[in-house]
Structure 1
Amino acid sequence: MVVQTETASGTATPPAVRELAAELLPQSAEIARAMNDHLFAMMPELRERDDGELRLETLASCEVNIAQVLRLQKLGAGPQQLVLPVEAAEWARSLVRRGITLATLLRAYRLGHAWLWDRWSQQLYERVPDSEECIAAEQHSSAFMFAYIDLISDVLVAEYGSERERVMRSAEQLRAETVRAILAGEPLDGEVASRRLGYELRRHHVALRVSGRGSELRGLERAAREAAAAVGAGDPLVVATGAATVDVWSGALRPPGPLTGLDAYVPPDGILVAVGTPGQGIDGFRRSHVEALQAGRVAALARGAAAAVTRYERVELVALLASDFPRARAFVGTRLGSLAAPDESAGRLRETVLAFLVAGGSATRVAKLLFVHQNTVAYRVKRAEELLGRRVTDDPIELTCALTLAAVLGSSVLAEDDEGEPPAGE
């Protein structure tokens, strides 16, 4: 939507402003990441509600706003030409559903404005030696940015208000608030909470987190119900928790079995499903949800290597090992060395050594598992030991952990290609 307002008055955009905007525009994503980090550092009201998705949604809003500010200044256009970015509108609606106030939204824009202005004005000062020209460029930029924030804030207030009215007209907000209270560990009467949710909390629960970038909320909710049906019968509890995330609980009176229905379930394209383990009562409701979030985090770290459905019980070790991701990545690099190369040959060696360790050092069992000859297994293990500089049985626990991280998380924990390194070999 294009903002309609009176034509902004003022002089033509100074060349220094247009040149700097053109130079910074390709760096919008990098600038947005720094701004996003600043906002979460400065705003506990965002930090305390962050489930991973909120940070990503805020980042997307930062990036489109920064890109628009730079693009308009590059073109010499006025702030009245701004268009409300889809990502910014989705972020405002997401704040409503998370119970985050309008004041927080406006404060985020004020802090973002101040942060961007500090860096922009410093760049102008460094590149424009003529003091009068620099002052003129700063005055023009300052007027532009204040007008931009003023205009887009008006539109976002309206967007936030419309979404809040829509949510408040339904029972969705009450359900969302009740779920938030349960997950936060607040004292609640179980029967009252069950009535508010329309969902019996005394049952056995399996929690799911359904997410999909670029998917409409209705499509996510439909996918969430399909995923819950794959877990078990009965009406699930479905709560939209972000612009691109839905949390789901599937309940049953009896403990569920091994959830074999999930093995055949295939989500729609672009939809990711993370699943916790079964748990009973309010504590089980909360614990299974935490596990679903952890499974979703592992899937996010694995990037394109992740399956469409990630079950916590299958990635629990990786979730624990990668709880401090920078240290986990360093651990993989230290333990695997050249074996952490991101190529197919090293990948085959890692797969073989991991299977070898899990099989207790039985080349026969590994050969059957991987459908290769025993001599191939022996050769790969020997080649891996050459790259490691030690026997694979010297530190089997640490090596198994590092190989497991590499197997599940893939390129996100593997080393960059190193020119001059010998190939890993078959």
Structure 2
Amino acid sequence: MSEPSTLSVEVARTIRRELPGVAEATVATIVAEVPAYAGAYADGMSATIENAVQLALGGFLELATTRGADAADTPIQPALDASYKLGRGEARGGRSMDALLGAFRVGARVAFRGLADQAVAAGLTAAQLARFAELVFAYIDALSAAAVAGHTDERQATGRVRARLLEKLGQRLLAGAPQDELVADAERADWPLPRTLTAVLLPAARVRGALALLDGGTLQPGDDEVSVLLVPDAEGPARAALLRALEGKEAVVGPPRPWWDAAASHRRALRVVELGAVPDGSAPVDTQQRLCELVLRADEDALADLRAAVLAPLDELSEGAREKLTETLRAWLLHHGRREQVAAALFVHPQTVRYRMGQLRELYGDRLEDPRTVLELTLALA
């Protein structure tokens, strides 16, 4: 007749009476051998640790005296639930599972020694003791697995929550929310405040590759067909590095702005796109190189009125003559009146330039020497 695979009620009762002492010895050894828990014990968590150990030991006794322990309603489920919560707690504290799993290993060793002493004293045979050892370490494996599951679930949940908070922060930055509210949002998302943010526009298909090359604090407010990234501290020499990182990403890069004014960088990038800037597939569009265009085309109607006003002296000419003189006037302005350079730019003889400029002086008179007129002509013909 084979020996029973579970503890008798009498043996279990004997062992249970000694559980407080075994638990105390287990806790003391864990604190001594797992440094991470020494500080926790000193900080007033002794009762929590001792209760967790006693719950685990009690769950083991239930397992050792019953069958069918795989169901969720078995007496060991509270111990498994407690281990799951311990794992989640470690994740919330930003710790890995190393310390907790180390505590489980130490606890298994010490608890088995203490429980086995009591079991042998109560009359367990060698075969029953071997089965007893199997149960102890299988039980510790189950507790460890529950803790790992808790740790994994908490990290995944925390990651999803933080990702949503970061996305919301980016959206509120683009919406121009008040600075004090943005600071609070950043604290909730555990996002360190940078000095500046630079808005980058790029196709959604390019986002993943770009993020792999950018600062880890980069925000992604949304995932539309044209996505926005907000890159921290990409001013000064770091801007050149940002532009290099975005080569081949079809990106438009706004100017750096104080982090709380990232919406201004975003508006600038959008405006450059509206003006027809299209990345050529290699170098990104640097909005800092488009400032003249932005200024000149800030008010299209005003620019059209200015052009009509300053070119009015040419209105009575034929279309061909007007085009030639306009072209000559533009080159004369750009080359500061240096006839040889104007001729080279227009691919004409210097005498032709002299002749055309004579015509223009007849039409404009002394106004070609007036700084204000020169400024207006430069803007109109830029």
Asked if TM exceeds 0.5, the reply is no
Q: What TM-score, normalized by structure 2, do the two folds share? A: 0.41
Give 1 or 2 for the bigger CA radius of gyration.
2
